[in-house]
Structure 1
Amino acid sequence: MYRYEIINEEGRAEGIELLSLMYGALWESTLNRLSHDCDGWLLTLFLEGRRYYIYRLLPS
């Protein structure tokens, strides 16, 4: 299973709830469909004038 991290512009970790806000209850299924071999930066979300960087860590 993949693990996701959200980092804000200041480099601080944010809660995973942000993904539920943007994508709803199926956020994990949505992100799992993007670039299956990608480990690291996946996408950037823009919300209320702020940037949030989404990282995916592949299982080792």
Structure 2
Amino acid sequence: MELGQFLRARRTQTRPEQVGLTVGTGLRRTPGLRREELATLAGISIDYYVRLERGKETR
């Protein structure tokens, strides 16, 4: 769970413009990067990132 908490904390503290993404006109439900944006930037699948954040990935 510690890894998931760390990932969520860093994701919410990072704004899209800080990593070179353009900010759309739509409202964000949570501050910071969306999971999809972070996964794309990291070069991993969204599903894998979600498993990491939820603590489901053991490898």
In terms of fraction of residues, the more strand-rich structure is 1
Q: Same fold (TM over 0.5)?
A: no
* TM-score, normalised with respect to structure 1: 0.28
In terms of fraction of residues, the more helix-rich structure is 2
* TM-score, normalised with respect to structure 2: 0.28
Which structure would you say has the larger Rg?
Answer: 2
